[in-house]
Chains A and B, each alone.
Chain A
Amino acid sequence: MAEVTLVEAVNLAMARALADDENVVVFGEDVGANGGVFRATEGLQQKFGDERVMDTPLAETVITGMAIGMAAQGLRPVLEIQFMGFIYSAVDQIINHAARLRNRTRGRITVPMVLRAPFGGGIHAPEHHSESTEAMFAHMPGLRVVIPSSPARAYGLLLAAIRDPDPVIFLEPKRIYRMVKQEVPDDGEALPLDVCFQLRDGDDVTLVSWGAMMHETLQAADQLAQQGISCDVIDVATIKPLDMETILKSVAKTGRCVIVHEAARTCGVGAEIAANLAEHGLLNLFAPVQRVTGYDTIMPYFRLENHYMPSTERIIKAVKKTLEAS
């Protein structure tokens, strides 16, 4: 079994979906002949033809809106927005239509589509290429927002997203596209949506994160383990709908929680998790919940981006703060 990177796992999942279901179509800017700017769709057009893997004109609104029409006709469109920074002109289509058609028509028209977009900073990219604005979509009723953090979860969650009967925003943490390799059996097995994944078991503190930040979060857990502090580590994976049950259960055990995300702090998904902990888990807490996040600034251009991104050190500091509080 070959070891693959996260971006290769994304490619494997799309190839599997295209092979399994003739209704699956994959399209976007530069996804065909070029195989995608990150090579996520490499080889798919050669294998499945240019009627099912299409290069589109440079127009995010129609790429997204077209997927809605396709889905209404029973296709399973998987579209790529080249970078999350270019998603905003498609937001009207996502919010007003993709997320609403099932509800508007009382189930007569449904929109089983997947919008894939690489997101997040840390690759020294040009302007508008490094944002993490997942909370914007997590706020919108009718959507699912899914973020993988490993090759295996990228494969299993993307297959699940493509098979899901409702629209899914699938955000790929591009900083870790090629960071690690992992054995991923191409067995067509999907992973469950709407649930968190428990990555480490510990008793002292719960670390909650998703996407590329799982890497720093796990590093922090490993370093803390050497100091005798054991962490429960949770990969949220589906940030909407949010599986608070798993997080609350963990916090009931540890009594402490540190939430880590790259996105700006205000109204980030971390705020939603913290609010839920306050509503339903406050009496289990030994210390105030800590958030380690990007700042409420514009995502800095790349000379400063490392100052913006939460670091392993900041996570460890936050954990220690929760331990000192009680």
Chain B
Amino acid sequence: MANSKQTPTPVASFEVFYSQVLNPQGELVAPLPYFACDTDELIALYKNMVLTRTFDTKAIALQRTGKMGTYASSLGQEAIAAAIGHAMKAEDVLLPVYREYGAMFQRGVAMHELFLYWGGDERGMCYANQPQDFPIAVPIASQVPHAVGIAYAMKLRKEERVAVVVVGDGATSKGDFYEGINLAGAWNLPVVFITINNYWAISLPREAQTAAETICQKGIAGGVPGEQVDGNDVIGARSRISKAIEKARQGGGPSVIEPITYRMFDHTTADDASRYRDPEEVEKHKQLDPVMRMRKYLESINLWNDQDEQQLNDECSAKIDSEVNIYLDTPPQAPESMFDHLYAELPKAYQAQRDELLNQGGKDNG
């Protein structure tokens, strides 16, 4: 008995992989994925990123000049959104956070709708050309259970569709995320969780968010495979996200993809990141820029030149100017509209309040 010793033996083990196709210099460091044979697709990914960045610059300018409310910038994260937008099929459902503009454009959301949204108007979530995608999700991680339910409906109806839900690194500390991952794993649902690791959750750095070595291994805890990908490498990200989506579509179950990127702008226009992070860190990450990286690559294979760039910039500016005009020319909703989409039909009990609002300023008021 004196020599008896309890000897734990391994009962589970896992590895987490990271991948990259284009390095920060725009050089191939891995074989090109199959989709990249289609050069039009490569150019489309690049154009989506440039359009998003131009949109972003304009949105910040609108906010700074008092023409729009608080805005969340996607600066530095354009590759992930472009990759998601191009990896999904039209019939899939996207549940974004608030930095996936490129994916939303790709799926039919209009720029003026996003300007309207950040301009304080609910109609900015009534996407005229995108019936099913969920709107921007503000409360953090709460969209994960929605994605699980959408995926359940798809599976129940035996449809070959996939729900793609995006969260940030901070959201993976919340219960909604764990509950969603766990259920998707237990029920083998067609859902892909994109946990964008942009290093900052407002002022909290990645190291302080969790002791987990990677964000994606949180999926593994729920039986859902997870992997990292360079989120500033649009080719690599597009490839790994597509693979996860197609696996889910074929009945292979959920995945977690953790694109590694960096939030280049403040959390929102209401934030001042200089209060909590070193500007040198931001400078350092400029070297990893996803847009410049892809441009260098396209130029290196003679798919892109300065003239193309000039033309694209002009096109993007013209497009965005016209969308800004639509936004600025959109009159506010009638005040009583706050009652008109509360329920399918406004209950009788609230009719008097609607009338009260309509009569506001009249002799009946107060």
CB of B215 within 8 A of chain A? no
**Contacts A107-B341, A108-B125, A108-B127; is A241 near B347 (CB within 8 Å)?**
yes
Complex Cα–Cα for A52 and B156 (A)? 8
Complex Cα–Cα for A52 and B145 (A)? 18
Most B Cβ at <10 Å: residue of A25, A57, A74: A57
Most B Cβ at <10 Å: residue of A68, A141, A243: A68
B174-191 vs A, CB cutoff 8 Å, 1 = contact: the mask equals 011001101100100000
In the assembled complex, which residues on chain B have CB atoms less than 8 Å from the CB atom of A73? 93, 132, 149-150, 153-154
Q: B182's contact among A57, A67, A68, A72, by CB below 8 Å, is which?
A: A57
A47-87 vs B, CB cutoff 8 Å, 1 = contact: the mask equals 00001100011010110111111111111010000000000
CB of A142 within 8 A of chain B? yes
The SS class assigned to the B binding surface is helix
A105 touching B175 by the CB < 8 A rule?
A: no
Complex Cα–Cα for A109 and B349 (A)? 24
Q: A59's contact among B126, B151, B183, B344, by CB below 8 Å, is which?
A: B183
In the assembled complex, which residues on chain A have CB atoms less than 8 Å from the CB atom of B139? 92, 96
Complex Cα–Cα for A164 and B152 (A)? 21
Complex Cα–Cα for A71 and B132 (A)? 12
CB of B148 within 8 A of chain A? yes
CB of A182 within 8 A of chain B? no
**Contacts A56-B183, A106-B122; is A244 near B343 (CB within 8 Å)?**
no
Nearest CB on B from A121, distance (A): 28
CB of B164 within 8 A of chain A? no
| B351 (CB) vs chain A CBs: closest residue | A241
In the assembled complex, which residues on chain A have CB atoms less than 8 Å from the CB atom of B123? 106
For window 213-254 of chain B, which residues contact chain A by CB distance below 8 Å?
none
| A89 (CB) vs chain B CBs: closest residue | B175
A93 touching B142 by the CB < 8 A rule?
A: yes
Q: A72's contact among B122, B150, B341, by CB below 8 Å, is which?
A: B150
A103 touching B349 by the CB < 8 A rule?
A: no
Interface on A for B, CB 8 Å cutoff?
Answer: 25, 51-52, 56-57, 59, 61-62, 64-75, 77, 89, 92-93, 96-97, 102-110, 141-142, 144, 164-166, 194, 241-245
Interface on B for A, CB 8 Å cutoff?
Answer: 93, 122-123, 125-127, 131-132, 134-135, 139, 142, 144-154, 156, 163, 175-176, 179-180, 182-183, 186, 338, 341-344, 347-350
New contact pairs (18) apart from A92-B139, A105-B341, A141-B342, CB-CB < 8 Å:
A59-B183, A61-B176, A62-B176, A66-B149, A66-B152, A69-B145, A69-B147, A69-B163, A70-B152, A72-B146, A73-B150, A103-B342, A107-B126, A109-B132, A194-B347, A241-B349, A241-B350, A243-B348
